[in-house]
Structure 1
């Protein structure tokens, strides 16, 4: 049981509604309901009277609510006093690859800011390779990237594997087939005109896509590298070709642009967090907690790393 579970529970009790509590917490209602169900399972008792409108607690639920409020109040007091003691401004600098801004990274950073109001957080866009160098030189404290780059001075943690999709124009035959099929395989698109991004520096996501085709014994001939993902998708929307992107890129919308899942098992883009070896600061641990809180609420599967 963690403090966030207590916050969720208290919000539901005070709002007497899962829907209103979800709105107050700025999260979706289904993940909130799952968290409360998990809490009841952990406690081994029912906390709410089933079917009651408005929502009412059981006797055990009310007892738990009273003590949860006290614990949360004590936790906030301890946090505030500790922060006042260390009022000297501290900075956590994060490097990230641009494509992660279309996924869950903004939610993670926002939650981290909310939980650490006295902490200065700086974000710097840079390639995964540059992040490794910046970590070793002390210019950043943590890096979010997509490439498996090993270095004895850096610890790399796999956060999750993000599925890949292919972006096509609405008039493309693949878009027409989408209604009959769940997705496409790499072998189905090997002869298409592909836009890869970014064009530099290497290695990067375009390198990852090339390797993916190679691992399947495929040799696409019509490849063109462009500067960034927005340019690649703009060209796809113009009917110039197709582009393989991470699933989170679906938030980028152009007229007549369709996204289709890539069905090959290995068609995934890993998301890594990199820190300096032996860095066990409280801020790093708290950042990991924020990541997994967001993953829980978004129902994202992951293997929690020990930090």
Structure 2
């Protein structure tokens, strides 16, 4: 059994047709049918229900399909990683969510470039969800995100948890609450969530935090990005929950007030491929923890 047999089989299952699968694979249908028949002979089982329209797998065929997809995915991951290891010009591509640019990521990246001059560092802005797929496809080497997205091919390390703040107009009663406010205090407010990209995203995380407190904000609106949300707050249109590092974004009449709920935090994760054990990744962690030491930020070094 070869990988091409698995590719042929997966294509037939997903297209539910030998004809469509042959077109997708750019081969003629008779050779494709023979390859599937040879695969069935080698396994000693029937993979497809004969005469079904559209074409359906047997129970054994469905089991084989699920594992064939995993094997093909692993093969692509190994091929991609091997190419990267053998590349003469060493490049590390780091995915990140945009809000992290207002925090420590720029300092970490600059320090990393200074300490690893032989490396070409490329930053690629993308959602946490897209980072997972990009890691598996070898398009990036690490990803900095805020969401707890699990995948067996990806290792996720919690770097720290960032406190959340409430952005309000200077005329808003909350702006005088210097000690802070609670989620229950703001649930009835007109609230901007961001981004308006596909879920899950930061707005999903915020709704989950409210839900865990038994709260259900009703007056919400999603906008494209954090700058737009804060600009609307500065215009007196409502309020917005943001990570603490976002307070570096300044508009006239824009104030930031702490959220006092203990779990009002946004985690920051670094994700790598499960099989990734390169010295470049370890050096990146060293830079992260050097910056954390300078900022007196607590972290657990044992995780990597």
For 1:99 and 1:273, the matched residues in 2 are separated by 14
Whether contact under 8 Å (1:127, 1:201) holds in the other structure is no
Whether contact under 8 Å (1:168, 1:174) holds in the other structure is yes
Q: 2:296 aligns with which of 295, 299, 304?
A: 299
For 1:87 and 1:274, the matched residues in 2 are separated by 22
Give the structure with higher Rg (CA): 2
> What is the aligned-residue RMSD (CA, Å)?
1.2
| Range that drifts further, 135-144 or 296-305 | 296-305
Unaligned stretches of 5+ residues in structure 1: 1-85
For residue 227 of structure 1, what is the aligned residue in structure 2? 224
For 1:140 and 1:270, the matched residues in 2 are separated by 21
For residue 274 of structure 2, what is the aligned residue in structure 1? 277
> How far 1:118 moved relative to its partner?
1.5
For residue 6 of structure 1, what is the aligned residue in structure 2? none
For residue 267 of structure 1, what is the aligned residue in structure 2? 264
Q: 2:197 aligns with which of 188, 191, 200?
A: 200
> How far 1:254 moved relative to its partner?
0.4
Whether contact under 8 Å (1:190, 1:218) holds in the other structure is yes
Equivalent runs, 1:172-251 vs 2, <5 Å: 172-178=172-178, 182-251=179-248
Equivalent runs, 1:22-171 vs 2, <5 Å: 88-171=88-171
> How far 1:88 moved relative to its partner?
3.6
TM-score where L is the length of structure 1:
0.70
For 2:302 and 2:223, the matched residues in 1 are separated by 35
Q: How many residues align?
A: 219
> How far 1:252 moved relative to its partner?
0.3
What SS does the aligned partner of 2:301 have?
Answer: coil
For 1:192 and 1:229, the matched residues in 2 are separated by 18
Could you list the per-position Cα deviations for residues 187-209 of structure 1 after superposition, in whole angstroms to 9, with x for gaps in the alignment? 00000000000011210000000
- Indicate how the Cα distance of structure 1 residues 225 and 87 shifts in structure 2: closer, same or farther if over 3 A, else same: closer
> How far 1:210 moved relative to its partner?
0.5
TM-score where L is the length of structure 2:
0.71
